[in-house]
Chains A and B, each alone.
Chain A
Amino acid sequence: MSSMVEGITAKVGLATCGLAAGAQQVADAFSKEGVHVWKVGCLGLCHLEPLVEIQKEGYPPVLYSKVDPSKVSLIAKASAAGLIAEGAYAIHGARGNWKGADIIPRLEELPVWKLQTRRVMSNCGVIDPQSIDEYLAVGGYSGFKRALTISPEQVIQEVTRSGLRGRGGAGFPTGKKWALCRNSPNTPRYAICNADEGDPGAFMNRVLLEGDPHRVLEGLMISAYAIGSNQAYVFVRAEKKLAAQRIAQAAEAAKDKGFLGTEIMGTPYSLQVNVALSAGSFVCGEETALIAAIEGKRGMPRARPPFPAQAGLWGKPTNINNVETLGHVATILANGADWFAQVGSEKSKGTKSFCLSGRVALTGAYEIPLGTPARVLVEELGGGAAEGRKIKAVQTGGPSGGCLKAEELDLPLDYETLQQAGSTMGSGGVVVFDETACAVDIAKYFLGFTKSESCGKCVPCREGTYRLHEMLDNFSKGKGKEEDLEKMVYLGQLMREASLCGMGQGASNPVLSLTSKFREEFLQHAREKKCPTGVCPMR
């Protein structure tokens, strides 16, 4: 190691986003320079990747954005000399005694950081996700340890009192869900973590699993203890390889520490965690379909009741929670229900991570209190539409959600408000469309997605998505008829009422929402055979 760079550490974000931007090459270049590399997950500031944090003893950390290997040597040498190199993005904390720091903003003053309340993501990009010791050092597993000292009923009470609601889409109260499963007389019971994130435009689960897998695992362990389960599964998409590897690794490490296995930490409680790989199917996010997939079958949903809480995996009581929900569970047990409920709105407590992408200036995963106006997320954190354009609409809730028009952005992001506005929270994906996007094209895109993802079991979803897509395709080709608009609304409402599972019930949402909010544009396609944005081929 060259003596020049001693005492310097380069913290490099090596999650999927960073890797796609070339972070591995950057990390290798730092190693070559003799700089110690600390591998972490990502901070969620995707638009800055590859992002490197330089740490030097006695100095505050400095963040460098969009680093490429050619800049590494300069950054290393400048840092060794106590200088800020070119390309510095921000300083974490006080400016300290870096030379040239006075023109560099403090991270805490930048909207992209200041407006966030980072709780479930607090370790992402901060600790090494592959090190259980680093997780323990920041207070990890204290929630699980506390849970083991109180009764399962008390754990459920604590989570109920926090007001935590499922972060996967439906927003069902987590404590209530656990109680339903625990009160099911049948045994054994199973706890499942749903990490089959399949909603295009949502990647917070990936960020969390890649950047802080132990937090998710801890939440799963707490949920298993609460419902009285000794066997837990993490159902994760094989496609998201890194996330699957990280969570499997975390489970191994937890076992080595004695947090999993038999007689955990001297208590009679025992728990085993298995990783089950999903081969990719959108409908597997639905609970009964997910269970079928773990049983090794086609991932098709079935009628409910019986609900999984009564008869789930192998016909036994099963509790399924989303990755982010479980992440919050760990913090609730560690810090208490009151702490969790300090932020958020009346009916939607706590924070939620949102993934902002599409035609927005500053893409990333941001954690904000529920009830924050959508405008704060899209315009202040996200910097508004890219390239100085105007925002046309913002899609929330993915293919089962709907859109908010630009003038609706002052609405608070909480479960009820979004539903009233004809959209859903979904898992928190927020895709921005600017004025160059066409409403017909967006609707056609989503129905193309749900059409190909429909499992084909029930008629309303299988045929409905097909027909809706067909009509939308006609609109885009200048063959749309005005009366088709009413047909689409009728069919959409029918699907909502008659489909077997949440996917089919939500599949028509984009159409219902877009046709009502951008009716004029649809009419233009039908009457004038014209696509105002020029996106549709119209022939």
Chain B
Amino acid sequence: MAYAGNRCGSCQATYPVKSPALKRALEKAATRPGCLMMVLEALQEEAGNLEKSDLEELSQALCIPLSEIYGVATFYHGFKLSKAAKHAIRVCTGTACHSKGDESLLAVLRDKLGIEPGQSTADGRFSLEVVRCFGACALAPVVKIDNDIHGKVTPESLPTLLERYT
């Protein structure tokens, strides 16, 4: 029989959570058994990233070992442990974008920002990441900056695009 992992999310009532972001995340998302991923999503939404101190408190609040939380937080691409830069640049490297020149966009970004995917600029303005597919394949190549999806980006149009994010 599969392990039911039935940690409830109701334990939070007994643990005095100090972090306001975590408190809000728990209120919003700790609604059912197995809610860990939902809480992490909400926490990241609130705080921008998953801070170690928040995860330590979360471990207490949900009665889940910190190692297990760390395991989940590092398994999925969507979770970020380090501080978010002001603007997150995400270059799609899905199949369609690959066939339409995602590499040339990455080359421009490497050159302009001086960072590799997974890094942030020293001034904290931009972070660069590669991701797999936003599902806007028809407009490939696609670059997402913060919450804006930009389609049919070219190495020529990219620098101007960046200037819009100060």
Contact = CB atoms under 8 A, between A and B. Distances in A.
Contact of A20 (B72, B75, B136): B136
B133 A201 contact: yes
Given A20-B136, A239-B131, A241-B147, A279 B99 contact: no
A280 B37 contact: no
A281 B77 contact: yes
A311 B2 contact: yes
Residue among B32, B134, B138 with the highest chain A CB neighbour number at 10 A? B138
B40 A279 contact: yes
A240 B140 CA distance: 16
Nearest to B133: A200
A197 interface: yes
Nearest to A291: B2
A357 interface: yes
Contacts of A241: 147
B4 A16 contact: no
A: interface residue count bin: 35 or more
A279 B95 contact: no
Given A206-B135, A298-B71, A279 B78 contact: yes
A238 B78 CA distance: 8
A476 to B, nearest CB: 12
Contacts of B75: 281, 298-300, 455
Contacts of B149: 16, 19-20
B158 to A, nearest CB: 15
Interface stretch (A94-102, A138-146, A429-437): A429-437
Interface in A477-502: none
Nearest to A24: B148
A363 interface: yes
B111 to A, nearest CB: 18
B98 A445 contact: yes
Given A279-B79, A296-B5, A358 B100 contact: yes
Nearest to B31: A274
Contact of A299 (B76, B135, B150): B76
A202 B134 CA distance: 10
B: interface residue count bin: 35 or more
B41 A279 contact: yes
Contacts of A429: 95, 137
Residue among A20, A291, A302, A356 with the highest chain B CB neighbour number at 10 A? A20
Contacts of A293: 37
A312 B94 CA distance: 31
Nearest to A311: B2
Contacts of A359: 99-100
Contacts of A446: 95
B5 A295 contact: yes
Nearest to B149: A20
A282 B95 CA distance: 14
A404 interface: no
A21 interface: yes
Contacts of B1: 311, 315
B89 to A, nearest CB: 15
B132 interface: yes
Interface string B102-143: 000000000000000000000000000001111111111010
A75 B149 CA distance: 26
Contacts of A306: 2
Given A277-B38, A358-B100, A395-B95, 12 more contacts: A47-B138, A200-B137, A205-B135, A239-B134, A240-B134, A276-B38, A279-B40, A314-B4, A314-B33, A314-B34, A358-B99, A433-B99
Interface of A: 16-17, 19-21, 46-47, 49, 197-203, 205-206, 238-241, 274, 276-282, 291, 293-300, 302, 306, 311-312, 314-315, 355-359, 363-365, 395, 398-399, 429, 431-433, 437, 445-446, 449, 453, 455
Interface of B: 1-7, 32-38, 40-41, 68, 71-72, 75-79, 93-100, 131-140, 142, 147, 149-152
Q: Which 9 A-B pairs have the closest CB atoms?
A: A46-B138, A200-B94, A296-B36, A279-B76, A279-B78, A203-B135, A363-B138, A357-B96, A357-B137
